[in-house]
Structure 1
Amino acid sequence: MPFEPDREVPGLIVKFGDYPLHHGGVGAIRSLGRLGVPMYAITEDRYTPAATSRYLEKAFVWPTTGTEEPERLVAGLLRIGRRIGRPAVLVPTDEEAAVLIAEHRVELGARFLVPPVERGLPRRLASKQGLHELCVEHGIPSPTAAFPESYDDIVAFADKARFPVVAKNREAFVRRTRPAVNGTTRIGTREGLLALARDWGERPAVILQEYLPREEAEDWIVHAYFDADSTPLAMFTGVKVRSWPPHAGMTANAYVVDNPELADLAARFIKQIGFTGIIDLDLRFDRRDGLYKLLDFNPRMGAQFRLFENESGVDVVRAMHLDLTGRSVPEGEQRAGHRYIVENIDLPALLAYRRSGYTTPHAPGRASGTELAWFAGDDPLPFLTMLARFVRPGAKHLYQLWRTNHRGAAAH
């Protein structure tokens, strides 16, 4: 491998909320741990998949909801930093963690290494409204959207809208409290929208967005790491083949596909807004007008980041650790054609996509290699722990996710 990481600087996986079956955190532990970097993680309990990885030095058991006061979370991180005993690179796995770290970088900087991102930028990017406003400001294509402030606004929107439309929670963090909708919800009729909206309260915390038809669209992803000057040190593009819930959830199956146009679009936007750190973007290519439309901006590593690695062995987490420890980040072409599979959700996704007849034209006919989210021959316990925790409650949860998505798509 053409680089040497600083093995004196550990990494700490930071996650807030109760989602123990998170393959992204396991991937980050393995990615840096295989290089000899000491790895630590915040976990819900001692028996999460991440806590069982052979590459983890120690799991700090700290159950959180993600709705705690920021001061409490910062104090908890500083306590963990003191227990580690030396500066560590923070690797957030959710928006709550990424926003907290950015907004309290001064306090956390005494114990940790973090990208010098503008204090309020991650919160704005994680917000559907904030992201839409930034896209409009900088000329980045995005779906047409409305942000109703009352039920009357929704009625006015419904009278003019072309259905179906999509409803999403306006702020990323509301999923921890009382979300108005369960993720991305497709609404087919005016009556369906007004019926749902009656439960959204006086100040609806939703965004209403144009629907991009599946048969006329392709789902693309961009993962990258940007330095303090907003210059990409690692940039990757890929196409999403399947997600769960279908067409609206987390990536279940994806391929690396070279897309210079998409990479240029992402790099230009990041330079314009001055972001630094890891990004995970979801875009939809609209064949009707030939535009890539930005749907989601995650100011942190994405759960499927291990899909992407360049020929020098660099992924976005490794790029961040190298950069924040003063190492150079070696360049290299991405491993085109590589495939990523999340074992516990790709099978139900495959069955759902076969029923719908949906295909992804840009997916290679044959993979050049496959990265599994959970199973690894050199680190089998996370996979076995995932199976033990997933089989019964996981199957029930998958069914509930599918039913929620199905009702949103069909009943309205």
Structure 2
Amino acid sequence: MVGRGVELDRSVPALLFKIGRYPLHQGSVGAVRSLGRAGVAVHAVVEDAYTPTALPRHLSRRHVWPTTGLEDPAALLERLLRIGRGLPARAVLVPTDDEAALLAAGAQDRLAECFLLPEVEPDLPAGLAGKRGLYRRCLAHGVPAPDTRFPVDREQLVTDAAELGYPVVVKNLAPWARLRAPVVAGTTLVSDEGTLLALVDAPRSVLLQTYLPREAAQDWIVHLYTAPDGRCAPVFTGLKLRSWPAHAGVTTYARALANPGLARRSARLCRAIGYRGPADLDWRLDLRDGRYKLVDFNPRVGAQFRMFETDRGLDVVRALHLDLTGRAIPAGGQREGRRYVAEHLDVAAWLAYRGRAGAARPPGCPPVRGGVEPAWLAWDDPLPAAAVAVRALGAALRRYGR
């Protein structure tokens, strides 16, 4: 029994699957703990034996498989199947990044030999994780989104940026590109034409997006699970308060905050496009026009999913396991006020946000309550946090040495 009424099928294991080297991935550790504490045997693909995901006490077995994203997808698929054939039973497959989710969706029939995974149109996750496909779907379904351009050469790059206005946001266009040929390290804010031309040498691989000023915007997170009948349950909403790099990077501090209108909007979109499975959506509320604008749709479990659970102890990963093992997903209200902090990044984020607009609690946001969910630290599972501390210290010393 888990929490206050969620019971998982302990005879069905789970495998966490990722592509690329990013050893400090808090979502994977959260998934191991969530399922492992429920009595599920959890296996995980890891870069090496000393990453945080390889060390939780709730992990049944680590599969050391350092990938880069440069491999032939067919070779990735064969290796994944070899791991699956060695598991004690068909396992729930839990992709923890976009590339893994895309590979799994495109090979559902073959992976069904060893794994349980949501049935979804094979090309749909790629069309959502890819920025061009997402923007087109937003236009087709009347979903507001920041004005976005897709330049094909340097001349159009300059023209598009001038029309959008500086500063302008630059992003890699597609999930695989961020591993194989990234133009920018992540979401990047560019202040002028000279910087843009120096930064972008492959215009076809990026998009440009209008910048919504931080003093006139709020960043909202939606995590949900869509069942085969199109019902979205659970649907969680929260407010991102800090990120690193500041205002453009991964979430370092956020809190669960009910937003029924945004929850309905997100569920309606998933039904309209026929999406199935877990999803992590990023919306930006433009305070100038009062509209929520969809920035990202990640067709997978989000890194900060453990911020959200119902009053019965249900989170998105547990919903995935329940659904794929034929069990009902129990209804329940979102636990309000739960906070999430990524300890290894939030100190720098806090320093960057201090004194800036958007750092304080937004107007109308109720007082903090509901407890804190650290990304790494857990008293019953201390090794992942220790591994993060060692790796973060090593990285800091290397930067200092340079």
Paired residues of 2:69 and 2:180 also in contact (CA < 8 A): no
- Residue 394 of structure 1 and its aligned partner are, at CA, apart by 5.0
Alignment of 1:229-378 (within 5 A): 229-359=229-359, 360-361=361-362, 363-378=365-380
Paired residues of 2:218 and 2:285 also in contact (CA < 8 A): yes
Runs of 4+ in 1 over 4 A off after TM superposition: 394-400
Give the 3 Å change call, closer, same or farther, for CA 397–62 of structure 1 in structure 2.
farther
The AA in structure 1 aligned to 2:395 is P
Paired residues of 2:170 and 2:190 also in contact (CA < 8 A): yes
Please say if 1:124 is aligned against 2:146.
no
* Residue in structure 2 matched with residue 183 of structure 1 by the alignment: 186
CA deviations over 1:245-299 (Å, ceiling 9, x no partner):
1111111000000001110110111011000000001111000110000111110
Paired residues of 1:13 and 1:41 also in contact (CA < 8 A): yes
The AA in structure 2 aligned to 1:54 is R
- Residue 310 of structure 1 and its aligned partner are, at CA, apart by 0.3
- Residue 229 of structure 1 and its aligned partner are, at CA, apart by 2.3
Paired residues of 2:170 and 2:184 also in contact (CA < 8 A): yes
Unpaired segments ≥5 residues, structure 1: 401-412
The AA in structure 2 aligned to 1:246 is A
Identify the range of structure 1 (203-212 vs 159-168) with the bigger mean alpha-carbon deviation: 159-168
Identify the range of structure 1 (64-73 vs 112-121) with the bigger mean alpha-carbon deviation: 64-73
Alignment partner for residue 96 of structure 2, among 93, 103, 106?
93
Paired residues of 2:222 and 2:238 also in contact (CA < 8 A): yes
Paired residues of 1:25 and 1:50 also in contact (CA < 8 A): yes
Counterpart Cα distance in 2 of 1:351 and 1:14: 34
Alignment partner for residue 74 of structure 1, among 66, 73, 77?
77
- Residue 398 of structure 1 and its aligned partner are, at CA, apart by 11
Unpaired segments ≥5 residues, structure 2: none
The AA in structure 1 aligned to 2:127 is R
The AA in structure 1 aligned to 2:394 is R
- Residue 114 of structure 1 and its aligned partner are, at CA, apart by 0.1
Counterpart Cα distance in 2 of 1:24 and 1:255: 16
The AA in structure 2 aligned to 1:391 is L
Give the 3 Å change call, closer, same or farther, for CA 30–75 of structure 1 in structure 2.
same
The AA in structure 1 aligned to 2:11 is E
Give the 3 Å change call, closer, same or farther, for CA 57–183 of structure 1 in structure 2.
same
SS at match of 1:204: helix
Identify the range of structure 1 (379-388 vs 391-400) with the bigger mean alpha-carbon deviation: 391-400
Paired residues of 1:53 and 1:382 also in contact (CA < 8 A): yes
* Residue in structure 1 matched with residue 212 of structure 2 by the alignment: 212
Counterpart Cα distance in 2 of 1:397 and 1:365: 38
SS at match of 2:353: helix
Please say if 1:51 is aligned against 2:32.
no
* Residue in structure 2 matched with residue 223 of structure 1 by the alignment: 223
Alignment partner for residue 150 of structure 2, among 124, 127, 147?
147
Counterpart Cα distance in 2 of 1:387 and 1:81: 32
Paired residues of 2:214 and 2:357 also in contact (CA < 8 A): no
Counterpart Cα distance in 1 of 2:391 and 2:199: 34
Counterpart Cα distance in 2 of 1:251 and 1:312: 25
SS at match of 1:313: coil
- Residue 392 of structure 1 and its aligned partner are, at CA, apart by 2.3
Aligned residues: 397
The AA in structure 1 aligned to 2:179 is R
What RMSD, in angstroms, separates the aligned Cα atoms of the two structures? Answer: 1.7
Please say if 1:28 is aligned against 2:43.
no
- Residue 175 of structure 1 and its aligned partner are, at CA, apart by 1.4
Paired residues of 2:17 and 2:45 also in contact (CA < 8 A): yes
Paired residues of 2:161 and 2:168 also in contact (CA < 8 A): no
CA deviations over 1:279-323 (Å, ceiling 9, x no partner):
001111000110000111110001100000001110000000000
Give the 3 Å change call, closer, same or farther, for CA 241–173 of structure 1 in structure 2.
same
- Residue 382 of structure 1 and its aligned partner are, at CA, apart by 1.1
Counterpart Cα distance in 2 of 1:371 and 1:322: 23
Identity %: 50
* Residue in structure 2 matched with residue 382 of structure 1 by the alignment: 384
Q: TM-score, normalised by structure 2?
A: 0.95
Alignment of 1:146-165 (within 5 A): 146-165=149-168
Paired residues of 2:241 and 2:358 also in contact (CA < 8 A): no
CA deviations over 1:115-149 (Å, ceiling 9, x no partner):
00110011111111111011011110000011111
Paired residues of 1:241 and 1:363 also in contact (CA < 8 A): no
Counterpart Cα distance in 2 of 1:256 and 1:398: 36
